[in-house]
């Protein structure tokens, strides 16, 4: 393998510890947690592996240049002087993403535009022609990060966000991100050691991520392409070695993963997505009203779900809806751990159960809480 270099993995708020642990287990060194990010070291093969195997990463960035920046002229000059011909061909295409936390720059889109101008001007001045801009499928995606006066230029090795696993062909009205779903399951501690149920499964994202965790299937095995595959130095043989090694670590799963939804259209979409992920042998999805169900097997179970918040998906009486969730869990699901995410803190009070854990997370832009309820068989006093 080649020489190690620094990288940055981007993630969601609250997932930093999970991602650091994932990277550590995969073999990264020099791990440093940041805000919605984890810095680490590895070689080119590890960069491929991190993209393929990290469940809680959104992007894997490879920093290639740092400089101080105070105004648009210094930004343009420093980027223009970089050897972009080493990273892409003039016949290729590029896209630029930018984030700024600086008194010198206030608009990330403007920073992205100046960066693009500097790169294409360099090509035009040196070769007489310029690369195109392609925001959807560029041959090189560049990330600009300005923190006060320090500018970091990185190559985006992921391309599209890593939450786009490649298995989702159908989506419901208020879908949950694949990265958020995987992170939530990992936070529960469930790793395939007992039955699993999503009683309001929508398009099946939580179920699909659960099956991949249970079987240790690489989360991004179904992706079309990673950003690094269009780089001039992409080593296809090395990538295939990494991919084959990851696939050899898939394990058996002996329990049940099930999903309910009362909406037949949601059930149909969930089944399509699960089949597209090649996981239909592990997951059963049924059209069921959770409030009319009970646990069928006398053994432990984890429930993880994303009920309506009355935000993107409305419910006529949200307080009564959450009260019914609590009643169903109490009466029908003994010897279970139930976890749900919601941004409706008021409705959560009507659930009528005591939370044993509460974690702050964001579902998109909605601030929410991921909460745990422990449903004991008999009374809690008897259990202890």
H or E element in which residue 59 lies: strand 59-68
What tokens were used for 64?
A: 């290639």
* CATH 3.40.50.150 residue window(s) in the chain: 178-217+248-377
User: Structure tokens of 184?
Assistant: 């939530």
Q: Is the pLDDT of residue 56 over 80?
A: yes
Q: How confident is the model at residue 103 (pLDDT cuts 50, 70, 90)?
A: confident
Compute the C-alpha angle 106/109/114, nearest 5°: 95
Pairwise CA distance, residues 366 & 172, whole Å: 17
The answer to whether the CB of 134 falls within 8 A of the CB of 93 is yes
What's the Rg (C-alpha) of the chain? 23
Distances (CA, A) of 158 to 8, 154, 298: 11, 12, 43
Q: pLDDT band for 380, please (50, 70, 90 cuts).
A: very low
98, 144 Cβ separation under 8 angstroms: yes
Distance CA(340)–CA(360), nearest Å, equals: 12
pLDDT band at 102 (very low <50, low <70, confident <90, very high): confident
* Model pLDDT, residue 313: 53
DSSP one-letter string for 150-205? EEEEEEESS-S-TT--S------SSPPPHHHHHHHHHHHT-SSSSEEEETT-TTSH
In whole angstroms, give the CA distance from residue 325 to residue 87.
Answer: 54
User: Any idea which fold 5-156 has?
Assistant: VC0802-like (3.30.2130)
Render pLDDT for 238-275 as a digit per residue (tens, 0 to 9): 999 999 999 999 999 999 999 999 999 999 999 999 99
> What is the mean pLDDT of the segment spanning 96-102?
93
Residues of the chain with CATH 3.30.2130.30: 5-156
| Adjacent-strand bridge partners of 54 | none
Q: Render pLDDT for 343-365 as a digit per residue (tens, 0 to 9).
A: 999 999 999 999 999 999 999 99
Residue identified by tokens 């592996």 is 49
Among 186, 176, 157, 159, smallest CA distance to 56 is for: 186
> With contact defined as beta carbons under 8 Å apart, do 8 and 66 qualify?
no
Question: Which CATH architecture is the domain 178-217+248-377 placed in?
Answer: 3-Layer(aba) Sandwich (3.40)
Q: Average pLDDT in the 109-116 region?
A: 95
pTM score of the predicted model: 0.93
What's residue 317's pLDDT?
87
Q: What is the mean pLDDT of residues 320-338?
A: 96
Q: How far, CA to CA in Å, does 325 sit from each of 1, 36, 335, 348?
A: 52, 32, 16, 10
């Amino acid at each position: 393998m080649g020489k190690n270099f620094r990288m940055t993995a981007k993630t969601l708020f609250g997932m930093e510890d999970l991602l650091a642990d994932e990277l550590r287990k995969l073999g990264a060194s020099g791990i440093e947690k940041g805000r919605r990010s984890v810095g680490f070291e590895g070689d080119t093969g590890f960069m491929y592996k991190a993209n393929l195997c990290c469940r809680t990463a959104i992007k894997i960035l490879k920093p290639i240049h740092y400089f101080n920046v105070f105004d648009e002229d210094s930004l343009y000059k420093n980027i223009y002087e970089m050897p972009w011909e080493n990273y892409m061909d003039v016949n290729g295409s590029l896209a630029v993403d930018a984030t700024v936390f600086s008194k010198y720059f206030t608009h990330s889109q403007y920073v992205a535009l100046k960066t693009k101008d500097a790169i294409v001007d360099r090509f035009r001045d040196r070769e007489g022609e310029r690369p195109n801009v392609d925001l959807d499928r560029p041959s090189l995606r560049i990330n600009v990060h300005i923190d006060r006066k320090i500018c970091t230029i990185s190559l985006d090795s992921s391309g599209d966000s890593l939450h786009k696993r490649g298995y989702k062909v159908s989506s419901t009205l208020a879908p949950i991100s694949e990265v958020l779903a995987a992170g939530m399951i990992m936070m529960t501690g469930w790793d395939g050691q007992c039955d699993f149920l999503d009683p309001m499964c929508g398009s099946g994202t939580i179920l699909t991520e659960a099956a991949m965790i249970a079987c240790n299937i690489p989360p991004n095995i179904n992706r079309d392409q990673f950003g690094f595959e269009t780089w001039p130095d992409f080593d296809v043989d090395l990538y295939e070695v990494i991919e084959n090694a990851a696939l050899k670590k898939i394990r058996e799963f002996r329990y049940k993963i099930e999903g309910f939804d009362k909406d037949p259209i949601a059930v149909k979409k969930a089944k399509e997505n699960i089949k597209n992920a090649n996981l239909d042998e592990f997951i059963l999805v049924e059209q069921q009203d959770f409030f009319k169900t009970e646990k069928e097997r006398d053994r432990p179970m984890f429930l993880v779900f994303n009920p309506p918040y009355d935000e993107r998906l409305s419910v006529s009486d949200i307080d009564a809806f959450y009260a019914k969730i609590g009643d169903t869990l109490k009466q029908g699901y003994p010897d279970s751990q139930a976890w749900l995410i919601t941004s409706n803190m008021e409705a959560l009070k009507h659930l009528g159960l005591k939370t044993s854990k509460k974690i702050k997370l964001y579902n998109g832009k909605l601030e929410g809480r991921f909460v745990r309820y422990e449903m004991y068989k008999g009374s809690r006093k008897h259990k202890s």
